[in-house]
Structure 1
């Protein structure tokens, strides 16, 4: 059994606790929290499970890492605190742990990551003997291993398109929804996530990773951004009202260009209500889906719809992304210490987990 810490208990951390608790090869040894009101609560309670897990949340990072855990699932956000997240992750690696996380966007593609991010990680690996694997929550497999797998089913491939299509009304992350992406803000609001260069900073690594796997030399990565206002005021259960005339939908693309053609595209279509921008791509039903489209001969389209936490698809997307990370721990524990990416880490069958009673 690999002793495993879950660091952070937000949307990703809740799913991580459940995934670790359900894995027969992992043992949940600690849960690290920041909020004082979470300290001392049982991990099962924090994860929304019906039964306690017997692990009390703590904010004592030093004591938790002093136990020399085999693995750490770092689920704390890196959106607005990338330097702190990097420091936390390096600290866990220096403690000898295998670390899996979605929080360091630059390391989706470590080969092309900036030295200021990659070098501290490599130094921590050399010092402590741990490892790191970073994959996204959008989810990472939807922008790397799945499209690469499906591309191998065609005879002619003209372009690879990865789509995330979601209604944010089901989210419980008001700061991210309202202020990072600008839902409910005036149309002239400069949303940080949509600022020029930011989408490439976050998702460009996935485009470059796929290009590397497909043997392509990209000329550049282009960004396109479209925004639509709400035609009427809408209400959400978790985040309140979003007023008519404010931003209600965004659609952006990262386009990996070769000879003037977009050959690898990562696209996000996000709404706060289904009534906004109905002419843009929509999920077949429900509040969201992930889709891979291989343009070529034959044309191939694969849609994945995952649900969790009472049928919520945003939670389902988080859970599958977390599953990719948590289920990689065993392979990483067997491998040499290092900095790994999605092309290195295989997806293994759910050996020992099929039909197993869930926590």
Structure 2
């Protein structure tokens, strides 16, 4: 069994606790939290497992890493925790294989900026751990799935990856309101939508797909469109969003090949279905991830996942976490290093079919 730590218990961390507990090759060794109110609470309660797991959450990072766990699921948000790179470096130097969605530039680690890549490689050399970064949007929807589906076509003109979501189900108000701008006046400039930021976040996945397809990118471009709410709406998790404030966002990060957008990651997100009704909507009105291969034949694959009482955003988190957690035993057997989605194979659910943890 591979002793595994879950670091952080937000949207991603809750799913990670469940994924580690369900994996037959892993054992939950510790749960690290930053909120003092969570210290001492059982991991099963924090993860929504439905039973106690006998692992009490702690904020003692030094003690947890001193025990030299074999793996760490780093689930703290890189958006709002500036120490994420340093945290991950500490875990790698302690000899752990680390999986995380928190360091966007390392989605395509070979082309990551030296100021991010070099500290990770130094930690690997010092401690013998490893790192695999894959997105929570989810990563597989912007790398391995579109690449797999592209191989089914005879002619491929455009690869388009879409996230289409109603953010009223998303339980991270800080990100929804302030990073993305939902509920703010239309002249508010949210950080996540600022020029070049979408490329910073998703450009690595564009470059990763281009590398796998053996094509040269001319450049990466962005498009952006925002819509205001025509009426006030109230959400279950985040309260009211006023009329006239931002209610929907649609943007693309485009990989340009021979002057044309050929590899596209598109996000269409709303705080309520009534906003921007002319934009694409998910089949159930709540959320989906979609891959469209424009070519011959045209291929469209839509993935809907739900978790935590049919919550679509939680389902997306859970599948992203599943990709990361399922990679741990492969990484534990591989040599120490810095890995990306083209290095780490998709792992089948060995030992989990039809079984639930006792």
Q: TM-score, normalised by structure 2?
A: 0.99
| Aligned counterpart, 2:31 | 31
> Does residue 79 of the first structure (1) align with residue 79 of the second (2)?
yes
Structure 1 consecutive aligned stretches of length 4 or more whose deviation exceeds 4 Å? none
- 5 Å-filtered alignment, 1:138-149, equals 138-149=137-148
Deviations 1:96-118 (A, max 9, x none): 00000000001000011000000
Deviations 1:117-167 (A, max 9, x none): 000000000000000000000000000000000000000000100000000
| Aligned counterpart, 2:302 | 303
Structure 1 residue 238: Cα displacement:
1.1
> Does residue 91 of the first structure (1) align with residue 90 of the second (2)?
yes
> Does residue 312 of the first structure (1) align with residue 311 of the second (2)?
yes
| Aligned counterpart, 1:115 | 114
- 5 Å-filtered alignment, 1:150-229, equals 150-229=149-228
| Aligned counterpart, 2:65 | 65
**For structure 1, which segment, 9-18 or 281-290, has the greater mean C-alpha deviation from structure 2 after superposition?**
281-290
- Distance in 2 between the 1:358 and 1:236 partners? 34
Q: Secondary structure at the match of 2:316?
A: helix
Structure 1 residue 286: Cα displacement:
3.8
Structure 1 residue 172: Cα displacement:
1.3
Structure 1 residue 276: Cα displacement:
0.4
- Distance in 1 between the 2:92 and 2:167 partners? 34
| Aligned counterpart, 1:293 | 292
Structure 1 residue 358: Cα displacement:
3.4
Structure 1 residue 169: Cα displacement:
0.4
| Aligned counterpart, 2:346 | 347
| Aligned counterpart, 1:230 | 229
- Distance in 1 between the 2:356 and 2:169 partners? 28
| Aligned counterpart, 1:323 | 322
Structure 1 residue 168: Cα displacement:
0.5
| Aligned counterpart, 2:277 | 278
Q: TM-score, normalised by structure 1?
A: 0.99
User: In the alignment, is the contact (CA less than 8 A) between 2:273 and 2:285 conserved in 1?
Assistant: no
| Aligned counterpart, 1:6 | 6
Gaps of 5+ in 2: none
- Distance in 2 between the 1:112 and 1:31 partners? 32
> Does residue 243 of the first structure (1) align with residue 242 of the second (2)?
yes
> Does residue 358 of the first structure (1) align with residue 338 of the second (2)?
no
| Aligned counterpart, 1:255 | 254
| Aligned counterpart, 2:265 | 266
Q: Secondary structure at the match of 1:226?
A: strand
- Distance in 2 between the 1:183 and 1:350 partners? 37
Gaps of 5+ in 1: none
- Distance in 2 between the 1:111 and 1:4 partners? 26
- Distance in 2 between the 1:358 and 1:263 partners? 43
Deviations 1:16-50 (A, max 9, x none): 00000000100000000000010000000001121
Structure 1 residue 80: Cα displacement:
2.8
User: In the alignment, is the contact (CA less than 8 A) between 2:171 and 2:238 conserved in 1?
Assistant: yes
Structure 1 residue 297: Cα displacement:
0.1
**For structure 1, which segment, 44-53 or 137-146, has the greater mean C-alpha deviation from structure 2 after superposition?**
44-53
- Distance in 2 between the 1:260 and 1:184 partners? 36
Deviations 1:226-276 (A, max 9, x none): 000001000001110000100000000000001210000000000000000
Q: Secondary structure at the match of 1:252?
A: strand
| Aligned counterpart, 2:45 | 45
- Distance in 1 between the 2:270 and 2:164 partners? 8
Alignment root-mean-square deviation, CA: 0.7
How many residue pairs get matched?
358
